[in-house]
Structure 1
Amino acid sequence: MEQIYHILTLVGIGIYWLLVAGVTLRVVLKRKAVSVSLSWLMIIYIIPIVGVLCYFLFGELNLGRKRAERAKVMFAPFEQWFRSLMDCQAHNPQGMGAHITKIDELCNHRMGIPALSGNTLTLQNSPSDILNSVIKDIESAQTSIYMVFYIWHPGGLTDAVASALIRAARRGVEVKLLLDSAGSARFFRSHWVNMMREADIHLVEVMHVNVLRIFLNRLDLRQHRKIIVIDEKIAYTGSMNMVDPAYFKQDSGVGQWIDVFVRVTGPTVNVLSAIHAWDWEFETGERRLPAIPECQLDPLEHHHPIQVVPSGPGMPENLISQVLTLAMHQARKSVCITTPYFVPSADLLATIKMTAQRGVSVDIILPEKNDSYMVQWASRAFYEELMQAGVRIHEFHGGLLHTKSVVIDQKFCLIGTVNIDMRSLWLNFELTLAVDDEQFTKQLYWQQCDYMRQSKTIDAKQWKQRSLGHRFKERLFYLFSPLL
């Protein structure tokens, strides 16, 4: 009997090492970034069996067969729609500032999306103001309301938004609502689902989490965009999910979530509508391309060019990462970044350090307490080398700072749904706006300054004296950066 157990043990070990060797070969042949490949190999070797399982679940971008096929055929008609905007008056490269011109060129060549002028932007930073503004615009809707959110959490003013949508649908407004299955899990267990569907709201659960298909679809591929489009005339986007912070994650110990939203009117609204249409077709197979926007510009008004930059499966890889890099390379005086989750790729980390090393003032504002324990410690693994390069790091103590923003030279900004981590920049469906509007950018910068006033700036000398246990946790969770 002992001999049989011995043989079975040897066979098990042999199968395991063959599996490890096969996964190792697959990691190498996939030609990921070297840092990502090395991180995965360490996880696979350091955590037996679990590391291999994690790679199968999270290591590769697996859409599932139907979605992958749909994504391939979608690109051409949407690209044609985007390229049709280049001939309208709102696309005016000669009237653009230096910062956005290069980003416009990049997005034109990679996806056909031009920067469009003739917009108005309003920065909103109070949850009650944001939600009441959305409710007011929904109540005025005449023809259509399109939404996509990662999290919809019932409670507080969010319920008032849901009620307004139901009333709109009952008076004949077309309502199409996309909600991520994982992020909005509590919503899909609530009574609101049946109430909305009974009111003829087209409600779709995106990227459905199915335990039986864990090896066929990547579980952590999420729909992370936040978009509202009303009557093709008004749009909202930004970092805020459809939540009332006073009713959301109150037991997490991180305080209320701190967010901003941007209300947009003008030609860019139709581009945001097209991104919603992309997501709708990707999930349902139904095509809905919006009308080409009216492009008449008043020569006496400020034009405020906006470049919409989307990312996600089926779209050009690394586009948002490239836009971030391009924006920072153009900085001459200052860069200020806010993000709740900071686990940058090696290339983006090098760009941030080089920006500071060439004399540009660089500030990064992160939450002191994070709802992700792993991300909080992995982020701190970057502090020392960033501070050595001259970057100032501020830890915000007024809640979970969830705003995702980059301000360049106080003249140009990026604002949207994108975190500075691998999942946002490589994996998820995301959206950012590149805004060439000095007045709006200054408002966003003043908001960042307010965050800094509620923050503690990390002292480099004190940081070097942190405990060995502190350092160990940093390095341990840094190994998991491909999963964060």
Structure 2
Amino acid sequence: MKWLGIAWLVYIICLSIWIILQKRAPVSTLSWILALAFIPYGGFIIYHFFGPQKLKRQQFRRLLSRTALKEHSDYLQLRNHILAASTHSQELMQLANMIRTTTGFPLTTAKSLKLLVDGTETFTAILDAIAHATHHIHLEYYIFDPDRIGTRLRDLLIQKAKEGVKVRLLVDGIGSSRLKNAFIQPLLRAGARFAFFHKPHITQLIKPLVNLRTHRKIVICDGLVGFTGGLNITDQEDERVYEYAYHDTHLQLTGNAVHWLQLIFMEDWLYASEEKEIPDLANYFPIQSSGPYPVQVIPSGPDNEWEIIHRIYLSMIQRARKRIWLTTPYFVPTEATLFALTSAALRGVDVRLLVPRMSDSRLVTSAARSYFDELMQAGVRIWEYHGRMLHSKTIVVDHHYSMIGTANFDSRSFRLNFEVCIAAYGPRLAELLSDQFECDLACAERVPFNRHIGLPQKMFEATARLFSPLL
């Protein structure tokens, strides 16, 4: 027994040193140490494969010097327009500059912004854009299932590839693990190109990447029209197939902003695929005139230490003067975002939170509810969406900041996943998202200030909260 005690102590010391040297947030570091301390030796394996990791990869930003993207005329035009027209000009430009400094993605414009709600509307728009493509079609998805909508989309891609359109499909190795060779081969035979992002492989025993997923959903057709948002390619998001399909939102946009979605896709494609370069780049970035809507594409992931989407949420919340309307399927706030939300409510901002009554993870749902009492005491009003699983990821701040994309309001999206969001400056997207928020409240029930739950549920929520840094 004595030697077992010594061995366990050595294990704890070695594990603690390893985790501490990662220089993560103190709460996350302590959570990992405590969680793994009682898993003798197996904790090393768990942390090796599932612990927080950073990723260094060769970014394809040399595209910036080989296309019209390097210094887009949009930026200077927009800067002067915003400074001249907006009472919030300085704050807007500070936010835009922070994104540009940390990501290299400047303020740009969209010619059109269209909010798509649920699978029927979203899949119809995507299939229509793909059907009209003449040069290239690029798709990147976390989940691409070989079900009805997945097969329909695949068959359309096969048709377009046979017509000579360049088709590239990139999917996450775990999220799209249901895709088998028999489903993929017809695409390849038609001339399309396909790749998995971090597909689990024996070589990852040395450098595991199982925890680093592309959570992005991107479609680009001819460099002219782009899509991103919450919807994956799965019948679970198609209400024509399932009565209780996820309730979700997506964004369709045109204009120069599509170029920056294109850049994100190309970086991911050249990283994950066997293709080393993409010839004839100019045809992937068609020259366009500026549009009326100031927007900014925001990529984030473990290859960028700045946690930019996390920072943008914080900056928007801190800048709020009238309202913050946040919709998220997974609400597991960091200490910083929790403090920002409660501070905003305490200073009189109309803070509203819309979450699903029951997400697809009971642990996450319970962890989220563990924060409700603190939020409501500060003045935050909370609604739980019922009937279907709410999967939208949006925020509206006042009437001039808004964001939609793939990132959930949790540490995994802030720190581990590869995500993409669209930030918009001005009333256009803010109005679309706030109208949808109010529409969704009709299918939601407000959480009462004094929740009556039993001791077992209180205990489960409190325990789930302990795992918040790991979720």
- What TM-score does the superposition give when structure 1 sets the normalisation length? 0.88
Deviation at 1:219, TM superposition (A): 1.7
1:90 deviates by: 5.2
Matched, 1:294 2:287: yes
Instruction: Please state if 1:239 is matched with 2:230.
Output: yes
Question: Which residue matches 2:81?
Answer: 95
1:324, CA displacement in angstroms?
0.9
Contact 1:82 1:113 in 2 (8 A): no
What percentage of residue pairs aligned between the two structures are identical?
A: 27
Determine if contact 1:406/1:413 at 8 Å carries over to the other structure: yes
Conserved in 2, the CA contact under 8 Å of 1:89 and 1:295? no
Q: Does 1:275 align with 2:264?
A: yes
Which has the higher mean CA deviation after the structures are superposed, 81-90 or 92-101?
Answer: 81-90
The correspondence for 2:62, drawn from 77, 80, 83, is 77
1:43 equivalent in structure 2: 35
In structure 2, the partner of 1:467 is 454
Displacement of 1:56: 2.4
Q: Aligned partners of 1:48 and 1:469: how far apart in 2?
A: 29
Q: Secondary structure at the match of 1:106?
A: helix
Residue 204 of structure 1 aligns with which residue?
195
Tell me the distance in 2 between the aligned counterparts of 1:88 and 1:258: 38
| CA distances 1:50-104 after superposition (whole Å, capped 9, x unpaired) | 55443222223154xxxx3xx1x42652565799543414542122353542221
Indicate the SS of the match to 1:26.
helix
- Show the counterpart of 2:174: 182
> In the superposition, relative to structure 1, how do residues 12 and 283 fare at CA in structure 2: closer, same or farther (>3 Å)?
farther
Cα distance between partner residues in 2 of 1:381 and 1:47 = 26
Offset from partner CA, 1:436-475 (integer Å, 9 cap, x none):
24133212111111111111111122x2x42111111112
Work out whether residues 326 and 395 of structure 2, in 8 Å CA contact, stay in contact via their aligned partners in 1: yes
CA-CA distance at 1:328 after TM superposition: 1.1
Say whether the 8 Å CA contact 2:218–2:226 is kept in structure 1: yes
2:127 — aligned with what?
135
1:239/1:402 contact within 8 Å kept: yes
Is the alpha carbon distance of 1:211 and 1:378 closer, same or farther for their aligned partners in structure 2, counting shifts above 3 Å? farther
* Structure 2 letter corresponding to 1:203: F
Quick one: structure 1 residues 349 and 75, their matched pair in 2 at CA, closer, same or farther if it must change by over 3 Å? Answer: farther
Give yes or no for contact 1:411–1:442 (8 Å, CA) kept in 2.
Answer: no
Where do residues 52-131 of structure 1 align in structure 2 (5 Å cutoff)?
Answer: 52-61=44-53, 63=55, 68=56, 71=57, 73-74=58-59, 77=62, 84-89=69-74, 91=76, 92-96=78-82, 97=86, 98=88, 100-131=92-123
Question: For residues 197 and 372 of structure 1, do their structure 2 counterparts lie closer, same or farther at Cα, with a shift above 3 Å needed?
Answer: same
- 1:228 partnered with 2:219: yes
2:152 maps to 160
Task: Give the drift of 1:410.
Answer: 3.5
- Greater CA drift, 155-164 or 108-117: 155-164
- The answer on 1:23 being equivalent to 2:15 is yes
Q: Which amino acid aligns with 2:287?
A: E
Q: CA 1:44 to 1:82, structure 2 compared with 1: closer, same or farther past 3 Å?
A: farther
Equivalent in the alignment of 2:26:
34
Q: Which residue of 2 aligns with 1:480?
A: 467
Q: Secondary structure at the match of 1:129?
A: helix
**Pairwise CA RMSD:** 2.4
The residue type paired with residue 428 of structure 1 is N
1:192 to 172, 175, 183: 183
Q: How big is the shift at 1:348? A: 1.4
Once the two structures are TM-superposed, the CA of residue 434 in structure 1 deviates from its matched residue by 0.3
Going from structure 1 to structure 2, the CA distance change for 1:246 and 1:134 (only over 3 Å counts) comes to closer
Shift of 1:295: 4.9
Say which SS state the counterpart of residue 314 (structure 1) adopts: coil
Corresponding residue SS for 2:137: strand
Deviations 1:243-270 (A, max 9, x none): 233679x99xx93211111111000011
- Contact kept, 8 Å, 2:399 with 2:426, in 1: the verdict is no
Q: Deviations over 1:15-40 (max 9, x none)?
A: 33212111112222322112212222
State the one-letter code of the partner of 1:466: I
Task: Look up the match of 1:322.
Answer: 311
Three-state SS of the structure 1 residue aligned to 2:109 is coil
Counterpart secondary structure, 1:305: strand
Tell me the residue number matched to 2:204. 213
1:323 is displaced (CA, Å) by 0.9
Q: How many residues align?
A: 459
Paired residue secondary structure (1:103): helix
| TM-score, L = length of structure 2 | 0.91
Distance verdict in 2 for CA 1:219–1:246, change over 3 Å: closer
1:144 to 1:294, Cα distance in 2 relative to 1, 3 A = same
Identify if the C-alpha distance between structure 1 residues 179 and 246 changes in structure 2 by more than 3 Å, giving closer, same or farther.
Answer: closer
Distance in 2, Cα, partners of 1:367 & 1:342: 9
Q: Determine the C-alpha separation between the residues in 2 that align with 1:48 and 1:372.
A: 27
Q: Which amino acid aligns with 1:467?
A: G
Q: What secondary structure sits across from 2:144 in the alignment?
A: coil
Q: 1:221 to 1:246 in 2, by over 3 A?
A: closer
* Residue 363 of structure 1, aligned match among 352, 358, 371: 352
Measure, in 1, the Cα distance between the counterparts of 2:138 and 2:361: 30
Equivalent pair of 1:397/1:455 in contact (CA under 8 Å): yes
Secondary structure of 2:220 counterpart: strand
Shift of 1:240: 0.4
- How far 1:211 moved relative to its partner? 5.9
Report the Cα distance in structure 2 between the residues aligned to 1:329 and 1:82, rounded to whole angstroms. 36
8 A Cα contact 2:247 2:391, kept in partner = yes
- Cα shift at 1:311: 0.5
Kindly tell me: are residues 79 and 233 of structure 1, through their superposed partners in 2, closer, same or farther at Cα, counting changes over 3 Å?
closer
For residues 166 and 34 of structure 1, what CA distance do their matches in structure 2 show?
50
Which stretch shifts more, 423-432 or 54-63? 54-63
Tell me the amino acid that sits aligned with residue 368 of structure 1. R
Q: Where does residue 5 of structure 1 map in the other structure?
A: none
The letter for the 1-side match of 2:439 is: D
Change beyond 3 A, Cα 1:140–1:26: same
